[in-house]
Amino acid sequence: MNPLSLACVTAALLALTGCGEPPTPAAPTPAAPPPAVSSTAFGGTDRAWLEITIAMDEQLLPLLDLVPRDSALEAVSAQVRAFTEAELAELRRLGAEAGLPAENQHKGMPMPGMVMPSHVSEATALRGGEFDELLRSCLRAHLEQSRKLAEGEQAAGLEPRTTALAARISETRRTTLSAL
């Protein structure tokens, strides 16, 4: 190797190794917090199921607000309200982790089992057996559709906590439907 080539190679090696100085130890890094669940752990089925179920449950509550004390369905309505409110808290938490948008695109969407504002308006004008008939019909449709959607999530969902919630919801709906 000629002297010029040797000088170039030596200069390159010295530049790469920091001119022979010992490396400065890196400052210790603080312990990182545990990683949050990545929104990528949620598949499309998980996200869609969360959005639809949140919308369906949110739209059911105004109808349940109308149930009078003397309704034949007072006890089952109270039970439905209790599990719906508990599920909504978990659904919303999972939805936030999944990165769902703040505005639910399924809210107000006419679909099977969705209690619409027109149902609530109609219910406000009814009393006694007529109210109970409308309430029973809306509850049955809501619970049946909710169960079907939960079973779909169980079959095709990816995120384990979401599919576990779907399993609980499916069973709750099945049990409650038998009480109607």
In the chain, the domains with their CATH numbers are 40-179 (1.20.1260.10)
Which pLDDT belongs to residue 165? 98
pLDDT at 19: 40
Q: Would you state the pLDDT for residue 33?
A: 41
**How far apart, in whole angstroms, are the C-alpha atoms of residue 92 and residue 97?**
9
- Inter-residue contact 180 to 132 (CB < 8 Å): no
Summarised one tens digit per residue, pLDDT across range 30-67 is 444 444 445 569 999 999 999 999 999 999 999 999 99
What is the chain's pLDDT, residue by residue, as a tens digit (180 residues)?
444 333 333 333 333 334 444 444 444 444 444 444 455 699 999 999 999 999 999 999 999 999 998 888 999 999 999 999 999 999 999 999 999 988 877 777 789 999 999 999 999 999 999 999 999 999 999 999 999 999 999 999 999 999 999 999 999 999 999 988
Cα gap 178→48, rounded to integer Å? 27
Check residue 40 and give its pLDDT.
65
47 closest CA partner among 98, 122, 102, 91: 98
> Which tokens is 145 given?
């559709």
pTM for the model: 0.76
Alpha helices, DSSP H, located in the chain: 3-16, 44-65, 74-97, 117-124, 128-156, 160-179
pLDDT of residue 38: 53
CB 99, CB 39: distance < 8 Å: yes
Take residue 87 and report the two structure tokens written for it.
């599920």
Rounded distance between C-alpha atoms, residue 148 and residue 142, angstroms:
10
How many CA atoms does the CB half-sphere of 115 hold within 13 Å?
Answer: 27
Residue 60, classed as helix, strand or coil, is helix
Token pair 């095709």 in the structure block, residue: 156
